[in-house]
């Protein structure tokens, strides 16, 4: 037996044991990528280096045998720096997607790739469960989300992105219709009470997350029903309120208490409300329309965009007349103009200071508004609202032109001096933005924009136990899925606070590929499945839902277009786990990539040379354990790759039953597949 010390822990082992194995016996993990106990030491990756007292150089723990009296430090500064350098080099040449760009571009990080795959396989209930790991409103959000996930979808390099949002609400609708939803588990009661102010997507998501952790959750909201802007700011033709009500009801069924028609500052002070709970989340949204700041804005017939939509949603019949102009170019403007059409207006205009190319609204919303008869006046900005006897009679428009790009890359609209035009109107709807209502929240520190100031990572405020998320904080109003992403972080922070800790999320280290259309030139073009919808002539006359929904067959066909960009082995990848432990800089040493390619024609094993790090585990296990010697290294130095292809019948039969190389790969470069 040999006695030694590893990180101040005495260890006694048999002679001939490696330092790596000795550390493991002491409960210490030394990062390593090319070592397996059942194989001979190889020492290729350089990640397992350690410091040994009285030894001037770093030693590789996988190949160094223990010695009597040895003193080993696994986390000394020299070792950590060398380890990080090795990982930076490996990550700089690792050309793979850890996570699909769809998930990365979703503000809530919904696992789009996973639920799309489950839909492709007909596992609709599993798909809904995957979505609800992140938020509880799949049918509602799927209908209204501007789907930034699709913007990032790699399928656009072939023909068109996957219809991810439509698939989301298809699955939710189908599971509800079939009654096949998986049950949601709730942890035993903790005795902790959480109060949430605001029953919109942020507040409901936070409540959903916290009740599952066993906390007693109460949501209060100023409106008669829960849902926030989903309920009171989205028209019925886009989001039927019966759908939303079913989803908010399911959250209540988990044990969340709802209190409606309750407004902080009117029914109870914030300080009093806060005193009743162990933690509080403020998610009261942005319920005030932004002003245009032009002369005549006080005239009768001038509406704020969200005020107008709320009036219609709650059953009101605003007198807008036959000639209506909506100022703005976002989705709220599209909702307002299409609602005006349905209320019977004959001439409906969109007034936008840039061109159609710069409009932030979804393209489908613009197209459908045009189909319904809305007229677009581009490169125009309101200069003055004209009136007669205190009521809107028209609007004077300043003609604009595009100047230099702004900080976001969009060309700035610049007035054309002395050039104006006028249009006759009965009403004007300003859909240029919205802001939060600060009444009742004076005790919480505010930003210079009048929003609540919250930590950008965990959404805590400077008041202990008080958190804030969604449209009411920091940069203000955004999209619903963004508010949901914030709510998830806030819920984790609240749970940590209730358990006496602090939640400080850290952006994960990831490998992300840079691709062009050429990378997908060999893919078969399969047209995106079109969402069936009602005709413009029919739908412009009522508020019934425009989209008719996908059939199961159409949804599965659409989902099968997914390229499955994210790595199949991400959750078990040791390379990325160690890269995160040491905060590897994936771009610091990025240069020419190792010559990589994906061998997709292999019969039973797919090999992605782009992900290969040359650890040689697959070659060694095939030689030492499987006793086949099928694999080998081809070329020398930087150009070394693993070969040959698994392409003859005898080899295929052996490899199909073996799998050792696939199971041994630490980076997901090998994947076992079945070919028909």
Name the CATH topology of 289-434.
Answer: FAD/NAD(P)-binding domain (3.50.50)
Q: What is the pLDDT of residues 88-132, one digit of tens each?
A: 988 888 888 999 999 999 999 999 999 999 999 999 999 999 999
Pick the most confident of 281-295, 579-593, 652-666.
Answer: 281-295
Q: What is the mean pLDDT of residues 244-264?
A: 98
Please state, in angstroms and as integers, the Cα–Cα distance from residue 98 to each residue in 47, 103, 664, 669, following that order.
Answer: 20, 11, 18, 12
Q: What is the mean pLDDT of residues 257-270?
A: 97
User: Please, what CATH class does the domain formed by 594-672 belong to?
Assistant: alpha beta
Q: Angle CA(232)–CA(234)–CA(238) in degrees, nearest 5?
A: 140
Tell me whether domains 193-287+435-498 and 289-434 share a fold: yes
* Rounded Cα–Cα distance for residues 192 and 468 (Å): 18
Please state, in angstroms and as integers, the Cα–Cα distance from residue 305 to each residue in 37, 50, 201, 319, 332, following that order.
Answer: 66, 63, 19, 14, 7
Whether the per-residue pLDDT at 417 is higher than 70: the answer is: yes
| pLDDT score at 559 | 98
CA neighbours closer than 13 Å in the CB half-sphere of residue 129: 11
Whether the per-residue pLDDT at 602 is higher than 70: the answer is: no
Q: What is the mean pLDDT of residues 515-535?
A: 94
| pLDDT score at 408 | 78
pLDDT band, very low/low/confident/very high, at 483 (cuts 50, 70, 90): very high
CB atoms within 10 A of CB 636: 7
More reliable by pLDDT, 605 or 424: 424
* Rounded Cα–Cα distance for residues 391 and 102 (Å): 48
Q: Which residues pair with 350 in a beta bridge?
A: 326, 376
Q: What is the mean pLDDT of residues 516-531?
A: 93
Q: What is the pLDDT of residues 193-246, one digit of tens each?
A: 999 999 999 999 999 999 999 999 999 999 999 999 999 999 999 999 999 999
Q: What is the mean pLDDT of the chain?
A: 93
- Which CATH architecture describes the domain 193-287+435-498? 3-Layer(bba) Sandwich (3.50)
Contact 579, 91 (CB under 8 A): yes
| pLDDT score at 676 | 44
| pLDDT score at 466 | 98
Contact 596, 108 (CB under 8 A): no
* Rounded Cα–Cα distance for residues 109 and 99 (Å): 10
CA neighbours closer than 13 Å in the CB half-sphere of residue 576: 24
Q: What is the pLDDT of residues 319-341, one digit of tens each?
A: 999 999 999 999 999 999 999 99
Q: What is the secondary structure of 175-199 as a DSSP string?
A: HHHHT-PPP---PPP-S-EEEEE--
Between 53-57, 590-594, 616-620, the lowest mean confidence (pLDDT) is in: 590-594
Q: What is the mean pLDDT of residues 150-163?
A: 97
Three-state DSSP state, 618: helix
- Considering only CA atoms, which of 556, 480, 474 is closest in space to residue 106? 480
Q: Angle CA(252)–CA(257)–CA(262) in degrees, nearest 5?
A: 120
* Rounded Cα–Cα distance for residues 325 and 77 (Å): 66
| pLDDT score at 613 | 87
Domain-by-domain residue ranges, the chain? 2-92, 193-287+435-498, 289-434, 594-672
* Rounded Cα–Cα distance for residues 450 and 137 (Å): 29
399's tokens: 């003609």
| pLDDT score at 406 | 83
- Considering only CA atoms, which of 451, 410, 459, 416 is closest in space to residue 434? 451
Query: Cis ω on the peptide bond leading into residue 644 (within 30° of 0)?
Result: yes
DSSP state of 532: P
Between 116-120, 398-402, 512-516, the lowest mean confidence (pLDDT) is in: 512-516
Residues in the chain: 676
Q: Residues near 601 by Cβ (< 8 Å), separated by ≥ 6?
A: 645, 647
Please state, in angstroms and as integers, the Cα–Cα distance from residue 122 to each residue in 171, 556, 673, following that order.
Answer: 10, 7, 20
CB atoms within 10 A of CB 268: 16
pLDDT band, very low/low/confident/very high, at 71 (cuts 50, 70, 90): very high
Identify the CATH number of the domain defined by range 2-92. Answer: 3.10.20.740
| pLDDT score at 610 | 84
Helix (H) or strand (E) holding 349: strand 347-352
* Rounded Cα–Cα distance for residues 143 and 111 (Å): 18
pLDDT band, very low/low/confident/very high, at 594 (cuts 50, 70, 90): low
Q: What is the mean pLDDT of residues 361-369?
A: 95
Three-state DSSP state, 430: strand
- The residue to which tokens 């902790």 are assigned: 192
Q: Provide, rounded to the nearest whole percent, the portion of the chain with pLDDT above 70.
A: 97
pLDDT band, very low/low/confident/very high, at 76 (cuts 50, 70, 90): very high
- Considering only CA atoms, which of 471, 490, 466 is closest in space to residue 481? 471
Q: Residues near 134 by Cβ (< 8 Å), separated by ≥ 6?
A: 108, 109, 110, 111, 484, 488
CB atoms within 10 A of CB 68: 9
515's tokens: 């691709």
| pLDDT score at 556 | 98
Q: Which residues pair with 194 in a beta bridge?
A: 217, 279
User: Which is it for strands 427-430 and 434-435: parallel, antiparallel or unpaired?
Assistant: unpaired
Q: What is the mean pLDDT of residues 400-420?
A: 91
How far is the first Cα of the chain from the last one, in angstroms, to the nearest whole number?
Answer: 55
């Amino acid at each position: 037996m040999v006695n030694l010390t590893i990180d101040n822990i005495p260890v006694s082992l048999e002679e001939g044991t490696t330092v790596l194995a000795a550390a493991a016996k002491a409960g210490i993990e030394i990062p390593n990528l090319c070592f397996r106990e059942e194989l001979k030491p190889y020492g290729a990756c350089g990640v397992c280096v350690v410091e040994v007292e009285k030894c001037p150089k770093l030693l590789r723990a996988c190949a160094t045998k223990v010695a009597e009296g040895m003193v080993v430090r696994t986390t000394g500064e020299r070792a950590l720096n060398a380890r990080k350098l090795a990982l930076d080099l490996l990550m700089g040449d690792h050309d793979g997607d850890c996570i699909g760009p769809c998930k990365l571009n979703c503000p809530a990080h919904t696992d789009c790739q996973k639920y799309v795959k489950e839909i492709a396989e007909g596992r609709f209930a599993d798909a809904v469960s995957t979505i609800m790991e992140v938020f509880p409103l799949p049918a509602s959000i799927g209908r209204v989300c501007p789907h930034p996930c699709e913007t990032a979808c790699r399928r656009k390099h072939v023909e068109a992105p996957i219809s991810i949002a439509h698939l989301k609400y298809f699955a939710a609708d189908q599971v509800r219709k079939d009654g096949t939803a998986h049950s949601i588990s709730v942890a035993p009661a903790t005795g902790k009470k959480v109060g949430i102010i605001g029953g919109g997507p942020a507040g409901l998501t936070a409540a959903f997350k916290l009740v599952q952790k066993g906390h007693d959750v109460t949501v209060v909201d100023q409106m008669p029903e829960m849902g926030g802007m989903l309920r009171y700011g989205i028209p019925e033709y886009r989001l039927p309120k019966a759908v939303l009500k079913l989803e908010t009801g399911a959250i209540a069924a988990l044990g969340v208490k709802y209190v409606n028609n309750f407004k902080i500052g009117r029914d109870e002070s914030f300080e009093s409300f806060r005193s009743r709970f162990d933690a509080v989340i403020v998610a009261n949204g942005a319920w005030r329309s932004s002003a245009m700041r032009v002369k005549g804005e006080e005239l009768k017939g001038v509406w704020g965009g969200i005020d107008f939509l709320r009036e219609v949603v709650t059953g009101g019949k605003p007198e807008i007349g036959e000639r209506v102009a909506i100022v703005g170019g976002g989705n709220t403007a599209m909702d307002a103009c299409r609602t005006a059409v349905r209320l019977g207006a004959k001439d409906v205009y969109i007034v936008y200071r840039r061109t159609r190319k710069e409009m932030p609204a979804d393209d489908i919303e613009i197209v459908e508004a045009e189909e319904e008869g809305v007229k677009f006046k581009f490169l125009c900005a309101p200069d003055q609202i004209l009136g007669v006897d205190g009521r809107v009679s028209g609007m004077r428009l300043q003609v604009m032109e595009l100047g230099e790009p702004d900080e976001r890359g969009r060309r700035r609209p610049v007035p054309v001096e002395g050039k104006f035009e006028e249009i006759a109107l009965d009403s004007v709807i300003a859909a240029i933005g919205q802001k939060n209502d600060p009444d009742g929240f004076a005790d919480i520190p505010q930003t210079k924009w009048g929003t609540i100031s919250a930590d950008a990572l965990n959404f805590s405020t400077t008041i202990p136990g008080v958190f804030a998320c969604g449209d009411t904080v920091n940069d203000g109003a955004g999209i619903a899925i963004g508010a949901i992403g914030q709510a998830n972080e806030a819920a984790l922070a609240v749970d940590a606070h209730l358990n006496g800790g602090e939640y400080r999320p850290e952006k994960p280290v990831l490998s992300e590929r840079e691709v062009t259309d050429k990378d997908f030139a060999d893919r078969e073009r399969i047209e995106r499945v079109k969402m069936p919808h009602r005709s413009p002539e029919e739908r412009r006359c009522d508020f019934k839902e425009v989209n008719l929904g996908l059939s199961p067959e159409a949804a599965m066909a659409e989902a099968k277009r997914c390229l499955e960009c994210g790595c199949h082995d991400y959750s078990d990848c040791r390379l990325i786990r160690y890269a995160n432990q040491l905060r590897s800089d994936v771009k610091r040493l990025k240069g020419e990539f190792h010559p990589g390619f994906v061998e997709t024609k292999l019969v039973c094993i797919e090999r992605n040379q782009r992900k290969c790090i040359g650890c040689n585990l697959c070659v060694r296990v095939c030689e030492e354990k499987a006793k086949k010697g099928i694999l080998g290294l081809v070329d020398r130095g930087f150009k070394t790759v693993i070969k040959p292809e698994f392409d003859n019948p005898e080899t295929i039969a052996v490899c199909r039953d073996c799998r050792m190389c696939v199971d041994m790969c630490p980076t997901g470069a090998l994947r076992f597949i079945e070919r028909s």
